[in-house]
Structure 1
Amino acid sequence: MNILLPKTITTAMFGAGTNIPAVDTVIVPNEVEWASGGSFADGTRRTWKGYWYEAVQAMTTGPTNAIEPGTAAAEGYWLKDEGAPTNRMAPFDKYLFTKARRAGSIVYELTPGFVNGAAIYEIEGDNLEITVKDGATDLITPIDIELWEQAPGLWEYLFGELERGTYYALKDIPINPNAKITITISRNNPAIEAAVGFISVGNWKTLLAPLTQASGVQYGVEATTRDYSYSQEYKDGTYIDVEGRKATDINLSCVIDAAEAPSAKLLLEQILGKAVAIEVSELPKYSHLATVGKVTGSVRSVNWPTAQVDLQIKGNV
């Protein structure tokens, strides 16, 4: 059972190899960064520090046109669009549906400090490459994989329509303050758009069964799909189906060594209220038991040698 304790990604962590600019003027709509002293009509949209903001009243002269979006003074002037991060920052918010997009390939070069892993979700691409370096020295064997999911059977492999893989978990990065992680998602056709919805780097925390190095998760893990679609009905009896976003919730129990109970409780406190990557097992047949969401749970001392951790993960859209 693996939970990624995430690090907050800051502007200073992006390297020159990142190919999505801080202000992306290529995508539609073009990003336009807020600048103090401009003339902003009601409804004007500007980007600032990773998000889109919308003017909720006209600001054409000082001092109102110098009010910085996102500050306490901006209340009543600028409204943050929580579902609209900038193209560069889209994979680093709490949602999976907000995606960074770029024709041909997406490259993120990050120097996050001390981390031992990463998780990448909602990938749209044909190939994934990951390198972790200290200068010119590889800290891990470079990863270069085609993004195809494992076929459930021979018939599907030979005749079915194989799906592309949408997530990847990277573990065992050596602890190094200078580790530079480069993630490249590419298309075979450079004219087709590549995309990624969620990138988290941080430190994997593992809950293990007593006396073994195996997952402590008990059988009976439940993964529940959630569909936020809805129907809009009209007076004449007709209706339209409005497609909504999708999520996966997971409920599980994990048996751990009693001595690890305080650490498990501390981990729950550290991730409370955060969107974190969860991987129940590294085995391919349990690959469906992985999600990103908010975790709540309890730690119960069952007997002298063991404790039980019950987790409820509400998947993010």
Structure 2
Amino acid sequence: MAGRGTVKTSANFNSSADADVLHKAMKGLGTDEDAILELLTARSNAQRQEIKAAYKTLFGKDLVDDLKGELGGKFETLIVGLMSSPLAYDVKCLRDAIKGAGTDEKVLVEILASRTCQQVKEIVAAYRQEYDNDLEEDICGDTGGHFKRLLVILLQANRQRGVEQAHIESDVQVLFKAGEEKFGTDEQAFVTILGNRSAEHLRKVFDAYMKMTGYEMEESINRETSGNLKTLLLAVVKCARSVPAYFAETLYYAMKGAGTDDNTLVRVMVSRSEVDMLDIRAEFRRMFAGSLHNMIKGDTGGDYRKALLLICGGDDA
């Protein structure tokens, strides 16, 4: 899905000139936040990495450290997120989710359910390199039960390729017997099938399951499971159906109701800005009868809002 991001590579790019603009924006009294946010949201991640290198060469200082020194709050979190490479960003988000006080299961669910097998393999390798620790061990130390088992399966990144026609019917039978048909639930069956089949295969299974039982897979999971396992199973199912729709829903619930879940809002806007933000916007409009742009506008303020709206890249009202 290349080219479905809202943040594009800038033409006529000059990393030294950009580094100079940023340096001037932070020099002297007061900071020119507009200059910073307008420049950084108009460059691709690869270009931001070049700007970072040019800044160090020109000024002998670390650009991210300088930005942290000048900016604050949610705006700082967003800008610093944009300055990380996508892989480093995922790795840091996972590390923070595990290493903080208590575990932020939401982050584990969101990243491991939505990334491709190749991306998960890269995350595991980069995590080991960065922290000299095994991501699987760290996650196992912080989680339990079937929730932990499904996370471990997702970390193996060994999903079957394509559609196994011969297994569709048997998968449906196993899931039906594990849930709707019996008193109590055999969670392991859900964990094994949803963790190991390809998205294309799972979509066929969900259709056949609906035909046979009259229930959407999500309805059965909602009824048959609970807690973190339910959240993770639902995320896996939704991502198999449509990753952009999953993120549209994630963004909606991050902003709906009292108080905004800014950590989730920043994480999704940063990590999807060059991947599928256009599709996320379209799904958001379809699912919630309003635009992502307008919801961000109503739920945030200041430079933080300006930067988020630039990443959002347009209104679909």
- What TM-score, normalized by structure 2, do the two folds share? 0.27
Higher helix share: 2
Computing the radius of gyration from Cα coordinates, the structure with the larger value is 1
Higher strand share: 1
- What TM-score, normalized by structure 1, do the two folds share? 0.27
